[in-house]
Structure 1
Amino acid sequence: MAIELLILWMRMEIAIRCQIHSEEMRFVPVQTLQSAIKYGEKLADPQGSAAKMYYTVMYKNDKAYNLEVLYDKALNTVYHFEYFRDARGPLSKISK
């Protein structure tokens, strides 16, 4: 069981690393994404896929940001993540 969980975690980590926003060089640690999936507010994917969009607040350099993560549990794959300050999904705008 522990080996299976490790393999699933490694697959998720690989998928996440592929999703780094290269044009902005933004990075979100795997643990933060896992926390968003575990504790964030879950809504349907706005584009209609089977994946779910998770929304939460994260902190980077002592500054708050909204975080959204598109995650498909059946495939254990993160397709998208982004952090921002504007209002999106159930999250309200965070002022600078």
Structure 2
Amino acid sequence: MLRHVVLFRRKPGLERDEVLERSLFARMRGLGSQIAAIQSWRVAANELQRPPMTWDLILESEVVDAAALDAYLLHPLHQALVQDLRTYYEWAAVDYTV
């Protein structure tokens, strides 16, 4: 099993847009049930803001292998969401075997 973890934070200099954040969060939460390659899917918002820097959202997902991860990453629904996330968030990702 391969775990895919992504941390998201609002891009520096952007004003907070709560409507956009709620929309993107809802789309992220729903994506897990729309792509067959995904075995496990969890999206959560950060609950504590601790200096010096925190992230706003976390995505934790699991797929069976690297080929399944590629299928998820290249899926049109994922690609469409990435285009919209890119305008508001920056992110860091880690993939590892569990």
| Higher helix residue share | 2
**TM-score normalised according to structure 1 size:** 0.29
**TM-score normalised according to structure 2 size:** 0.29
Give the structure, 1 or 2, with the largest relative contact order (CA under 8 Å, sep 6 or more): 2
